[in-house]
Amino acid sequence: MRKDVLTNEMVPKRLLVRIVRNKEGEVSVDATGKKPGRGAYVGLDPQAVKQAASAHTLDKILKVKLSAEFYQELYDYVDHQKARLDLFGELGKKH
């Protein structure tokens, strides 16, 4: 179980996407969940990601200025993973 930083709910790790900030301050989506750096978990809720983008929620959590392009990449990834989960169920996730 991990905490979704956008909703503050405890969620099984396999239903979350990890965002990581490395030592150089670069932020990326961590599809493997194993990249080194400061991590934050986001649930598979595209609407929550849109709200986070408008409020710059992840900027505050990760203490770095994130671009609109990053938020769009995150939205696309979360939307895709949610669609996979809806289509294939838990078997579609590789963790």
> Are 21 and 37 in contact, with CB atoms under 8 Å apart?
yes
| 95 has a pLDDT exceeding 50 | no
CA distance 43 to 6: 8
Domain range for 81 is 2-92
Indicate whether 8 pLDDT > 80.
yes
Q: What is the CATH number of the domain that holds 23?
A: 3.30.1230.10
- pLDDT over threshold 60, residue 27: yes
CB 42 within 8 A of CB 49: yes
pLDDT of residue 35: 96
Mean pLDDT of 44-63: 97
pLDDT of residue 90: 67
Number of domains in the chain: 1
The model's pTM is 0.89
Q: Is the pLDDT of residue 24 over 60?
A: yes
Give 40's strand partners.
Answer: 19
